Amino acid sequence: MNSFLPIGLEADSLYFLATAILALVVGYFVLRKSLHHDRFAMQVRSLQERRAQLKAELVVPRKRSKKIHSDASIDIIRIIVNKMNLIQRSQVGKINTLLINAGYRSKDAIFIYAFFQLVFPIVALIVSILLTKFDFADPFAGKWNLFIIIAAVLFGLKLPGILVINVRNKRYDTLQGGLSDMLDLMLVCAEAGLSLGAALDRVARELMFSYPEMAEELSLTSIELGFLPDRKKALLNLAERVDIAEIRGITNVLIQTEKYGTPVAQALRVLSSEFRDQRMLRAEQKAARLPALMTVPMIVFILPTLFIVMLAPAIISLIMARL
């Protein structure tokens, strides 16, 4: 066993590192399971918390309720992050905006993000040392070992941000897919005479199962419209939470209709037509890219097989003739 280990690393240390990595992996999946056990329950709970928060700020702004019950694992993560000062004040706003755009609105999301920014580089360092069989006695013995270890640590440091950005992009794609249906339903509600808050609430109930992300955002906006003294602020919060051009266009139109008293139905009809045309253009662009994307697979996989099928009988005949 010791012959396969890097110089300076014993079997007991390897067992300890493997146990630590296994504990981190198990803890990660347990934490993920506890945070995402019920998708719709999480949405309802987040909406209720936002409603209670807005009510507390408007009714009793000087008295804030403290959270009595909290998860022990979250408390441990918060203590570690605060003790090690992993969150810089200059980066808090940027990280919070990124997490909110990805759908993580919990107050503890930033602590979990900072904790994994600490854990992932350590895990990457340990795994890269084991895989490269790094020689602690002579660090520069291997030509690429030190470079691989440094690259693995940097990748582990950037991995939480990459994962969050990936989740945000997937969420944006899902929201863009539900824009046309949302605008059509909003148009029907506006022509039926419903107010903006009632229309958002009704559309959110209709889209709860087909587009839950869109329904969650509309429900939260409806709640903020009912509690915030400035209705413009509620619409700007929607544009901040979902930072895509289509949502910004919708919020700007709704703000203008609220300000100047123009008919909402006419503006929504124009937006719905524009977004449907943009959706068709995006589909046409993806279809136009297919010939270029299929060129490489065709050259690598299809043409060699075709040549084998065409030339194999002639080659076999030549070989049999020589025999």
Q: For the chain, give the mean pLDDT.
A: 78
Q: What is the mean pLDDT of residues 124-146?
A: 74
DSSP string, 119-163: HHHHHHHHHHHHHHT--SS-TTSSSSHHHHHHHHHHHHHHHHHHH
Residue 265 CA to residue 268 CA, distance in Å, equals 5
Confidence of residue 68 (pLDDT cuts 50, 70, 90): very low
Better-predicted residue by pLDDT, 10 or 306: 306
Confidence of residue 64 (pLDDT cuts 50, 70, 90): very low
- Its pTM stands at 0.68
Question: 171-197: per-residue pLDDT in tens?
Answer: 988 888 888 888 888 888 888 888 888
Kindly tell me if the per-residue pLDDT of 236 is higher than 50. Answer: yes
Kindly tell me if the per-residue pLDDT of 214 is higher than 50. Answer: yes
Q: Looking at 17-26, 213-222, 264-273, 303-312, which range is the least confident one?
A: 17-26
Residues 212, 218, 221: CA angle, nearest 5 degrees = 140
Cβ count within 10 A of residue 1: 7
Kindly tell me if the per-residue pLDDT of 306 is higher than 80. Answer: yes
Residue 273 CA to residue 319 CA, distance in Å, equals 67
| Cα end-to-end distance, the chain, whole Å | 53
Q: Looking at 61-75, 95-109, 137-151, which range is the least confident one?
A: 61-75
Residue 49 carries which DSSP code?
H
Question: How high is the pLDDT of residue 36?
Answer: 47
Q: State what percent of residues in the chain have pLDDT above 70.
A: 77
Q: What is the mean pLDDT of residues 128-148?
A: 73
Question: How high is the pLDDT of residue 166?
Answer: 92
Question: 268-285: per-residue pLDDT in tens?
Answer: 888 888 878 887 888 888
Kindly tell me if the per-residue pLDDT of 60 is higher than 50. Answer: no
Residue 243 CA to residue 103 CA, distance in Å, equals 12
Amino acid at 173: D
